[in-house]
Chain A
Amino acid sequence: MTRSSLLRDSLIAIAVFAVLALLPFIVPGKGFTDFMVRLAAFGIFATSLNLLVGYAGMESFGHGLFFGLGCYSFGLIMQTFPVSIPVAFLATVGLSIVVGTVVGAICVRLNEIYFAFVTLAFQMLLHSLIIAWTPITGGDQGLTGGIPRPPFLGIRLDDYYHLYLFSTGLLVASLLAMYHIVQSPFGYTLRMIRDNAARAPFLGINVFRVRLMAYVIAGAFGAIGGMIMSLFVSGAFPDFAYWTISGEAIFMIMLGGITVFLGPMVGAVMLLLLNDFVTKMTTHYGLVLGLVILLFALGLRKGLMDFAADLWRDRQTPTSGPRPDTAAKTAASAPARAGE
């Protein structure tokens, strides 16, 4: 089987980042960089959710827990302590790992819809906590007064181009890291658990531990998405921990596709562009966006990239016999939802 190496992927990532770094000089206007910063936040967030949904078969309704946690933790640390951005960044990742471990230990024991609902409950608990704990979190007003951005390593995040580089850099690095994870032995263990969680224990796999790891890893990346968002809006709002934010990530991965690694990114681009475009064009945002969503959901019955991947594979092997799986990547691209 053909496999990509970490070296090759890293080189691709560097090349992509180089192109991204130059793009603002070609595409004029801050509208583009603004879009890319948001795309970075939601792209990382949605891709991290897909680690759970697409690769581990864990359908979380409450991934926004980590997005909200990332926003608030990063914002609060920067507002309260005289620390540099990387320190706050690492502390937030650390906190999300701790929270993910505790919450995950409770949640990942449950399956399917029960897992979905218990994650939702924990996310809404965080939301209730943010709303109720006004002296610290600012309650429903959110963290106001802006997030300080002391320069570090020559990076000044109050400059829009620096923020763009920082966000897209994080995006590329996070995607590379997550891609590496899904190509690691652990990534294949996730697929095995997704495909048949009942079989895995009889191969010596401790399903609970693997799921917990997946939950914690996805949570940590979700928090990175949240941090970028808090830099974008220079604050944090309870909305970032509300169930609707989990909903948005779910819609992104369902629109873009869950069986191809970059599906969630495609979905994030689609939903953000749709949102921006429709909001600009008409006040009947719901009507238009709703129709487009139904068109995709009922027309394709799967995400765009899933559809494309299937199409591509069918073209490779027009006969209906057993289909060779040429690239390791497409191992995940067969419509998942398995089990006994």
Chain B
Amino acid sequence: MDLSALASCLITPSCVITQTTSGLIIGLLLFLVAAGVSLIFGVLKVVNFAHGAFYMLGAYFAYTAYQLSGNYLIAVLAGGIGVALFGLVFERLLISRVYGSPVLMQLLVCYGAILILDDLVKIIWGADFLSFGMPSAFQQLPFVFAGGVVPVFYLFLIVVALAIAGLLGLLISKTRYGKIVRAAAVNPSMVSALGINTGVVYASVFVLGGFLAGLAGGLAAPVRSLTAGMGTSIIIESFIVTVIGGMGSVAGALVGSILIGLVRSFGTIGFPLFTEGLMFVLMAVVLVLKPSGLFGKGGA
């Protein structure tokens, strides 16, 4: 523990700026994955343990698209759209068969899928770790604000992720689709009674969740090493975020993600050897005090 270092960081503007942006960037990338986990749980009541594998696929799809096109934008979209399509197949082929099954049976199905996906990635892309390489547009000197350092690429990621978060929020709260999704989360039989095909709604949520995870994988790819199994760490953190924010709440996922990001960025200064433990403590405390999470139960 190094509380004096933490205190001295908190009174230094440059440290606060750097660590806060660092927390934001960690948190916002996490958000893109966690939002999907949260939505899928909120609407489908499925704990999609395989969402980390979606993220991994997004990164690999983007890698291949980047190899072929050399265009980062195309690569990111390939990640997002590729995984959205994959999410559709995954939902129709596997998950739709275990709706209403015990949560542990769903977990088993997801586990089987993860094993297969990790192995397929190894077969297709090889056992070695891959590096995406930084697109040349972002190979620039970082910005410096008040002594705090922010790389151009991260600034880009923050803007993109916030924009996606905003669009997602609008989609869920303002559109007809959003209303249906929220209604399906609370009362699926009511939605189907209104003549809406809940199967389509469920599949669309998986597609949306897959799109977000794939996007996250593609966006993060230039600063990650790609390996089979890279989804594992992010899925555990996504669960923590989902629990803290409140399962099914997009706003909760955003706040939870940023909270986890900040805990990690400031925690590494104050408690360098126990940042992971810190996240689980946070999760346990939230569960005990407010089991439904910071943003309660309310709809999606």
Contact = CB atoms under 8 A, between A and B. Distances in A.
B111 interface: yes
A284 B108 contact: no
B108 A287 contact: no
A189 interface: no
Contact of A250 (B107, B243, B288): B107
Contacts of B116: 286-287, 290-291, 294
Contact of B119 (A53, A111, A128, A284): A284
B112 interface: yes
B247 A297 contact: no
Contact of A247 (B111, B120, B122, B284): B111
Interface stretch (B5-13, B72-80, B261-269, B272-280): B272-280
Main secondary structure of the interface of B (DSSP, over half): helix
Interface in B102-139: 102-105, 107-109, 111-120, 122-123
A113 B247 contact: yes
Nearest to B100: A337
A287 B115 contact: yes
Contacts of A291: 112, 116
Interface in B269-300: 273-274, 276-277, 280-281, 283-284, 287-288, 291-292
Contacts, number: 121
Contact of B108 (A118, A120, A255): A255
A254 B117 CA distance: 21
B196 interface: no
Contacts of B239: 117, 120
B284 A122 contact: yes
A298 interface: yes
B153 to A, nearest CB: 31
Main secondary structure of the interface of A (DSSP, over half): helix
Given A53-B104, A125-B281, A294-B94, A106 B243 contact: no
Nearest to A335: B102
A264 to B, nearest CB: 12
A160 interface: no
A124 B103 contact: no
A212 B29 CA distance: 39
A114 interface: yes
Interface residues of B, number: 40
A59 B101 CA distance: 13
B291 A298 contact: no
A110 B289 CA distance: 10
Interface string B147-166: 00000000000000000000
B108 A293 contact: yes
Interface string B7-25: 0000000000000000000
A118 B283 CA distance: 8
A337 B104 contact: no
A115 B131 CA distance: 39
Interface string A250-262: 1101110000000
Contact of A128 (B114, B122, B280): B280
Nearest to A112: B103
A121 B103 contact: no
A129 B274 CA distance: 9
Contacts of A129: 277
Contact of A286 (B94, B103, B115, B287): B115
A333 to B, nearest CB: 15
Contacts of A250: 104, 107-108
A132 interface: yes
A301 interface: yes
Contacts of A298: 94, 97-98, 109
B115 A289 contact: yes
Contact of A114 (B105, B107, B113, B291): B291
A179 interface: no
A243 interface: yes
A94 B63 CA distance: 53
B287 A117 contact: yes
Contact of A251 (B47, B111, B243, B274): B111
A302 B276 CA distance: 35
Contacts of B97: 298, 301
Contact of A113 (B47, B101, B280, B283): B47
Contact of B104 (A59, A106, A111): A59
A250 B111 CA distance: 11
Contact of B280 (A121, A285, A289, A301): A121
Interface string B230-247: 000000100100010001
Contacts of A106: 284, 288
A291 to B, nearest CB: 7
A173 B107 CA distance: 31
A290 B103 contact: no
Contacts of A200: none
Nearest to A301: B101
Contacts of B274: 128, 132
Nearest to B287: A118
Top 9 A-B residue pairs of the complex, sorted by shortest distance between their CB atoms: A290-B115, A128-B277, A286-B119, A293-B112, A290-B116, A286-B115, A121-B284, A287-B119, A294-B112
Given A254-B107, A287-B119, A298-B109, 7 more contacts: A59-B102, A118-B283, A284-B119, A293-B111, A293-B115, A294-B109, A294-B116
Interface of B: 47, 94, 97-98, 101-105, 107-109, 111-120, 122-123, 236, 239, 243, 247, 273-274, 276-277, 280-281, 283-284, 287-288, 291-292
